[in-house]
Amino acid sequence: MERYMLHLKNSSDLNRKMAKDILRKSRIITSGMNLTLRDCRVSKKYVELDTTIAKSDLDELIDKLSSIGPLDHAKHVVEEIVEKEKAISEGIDYFNNERFWECHEILEGVWKNCDGNEKFLVQGLILVAAGLVHYQKDEDLVCISIFNRALEKLENSNGQYYDIDIDKIKQTITEMITSKSVSSFLI
């Protein structure tokens, strides 16, 4: 059994408030298969399903899930060692494509190799992405709680970090915390 992140194309009529129902429907249409469907997240572009399944059964799973949306891509989840600048660039791309879980994962690899204030800064970015993972599951209160933790990690950081405007992120999440209204945004 291996872990995969499946990204089904969102036909745009699916939204994050449907994440739990989509997960329930996915479990029903795949009942009888030897797999674990652990989570569902919905963005404007994708319905993201986190699953563990034998590689030999992956095509059958994708076929069964096609009633929710056609497959955009399936990513085998393995710990990757990626050069720092490339990892940050990929993290930005994942974030801006609302693939927050993958952003979180790739930035963890960066975080493991940082120290000092940079370690706190990267951890703050990871927490922003993690908060938005919960937003995609329609868990806004959890998201806001995580944003508060992110601000604590980012409090001594400002300016640019590679191509990321840290001040803009801090302002954006502060506004969301204050208004209790969460939405995705670009970095």
Q: Would you list the domain boundaries of the chain?
A: 2-76, 84-179
Question: 84-179 in CATH: which number?
Answer: 1.10.3450.10
Predicted local confidence at residue 78, as pLDDT: 84
The answer to whether 13 and 52 are in contact (CB under 8 A) is no
Core vs surface per residue 49-84: b (16+ CB within 10 A) or e: bbbebeeeebeebbeebeebbebeebeebeeeeeee
Predicted local confidence at residue 125, as pLDDT: 98
Question: 2-76 in CATH: which number?
Answer: 3.30.70.260
How large a percentage of the chain has pLDDT more than 90? 96
Q: How confident is the model at residue 46 (pLDDT cuts 50, 70, 90)?
A: very high
Burial class (CB in 10 A: 0-12, 13-18, 19+), 173: buried
- Inform me whether the pLDDT recorded for 80 exceeds 80: no
- pTM higher than the cut 0.85: yes
- Inform me whether the pLDDT recorded for 14 exceeds 90: yes
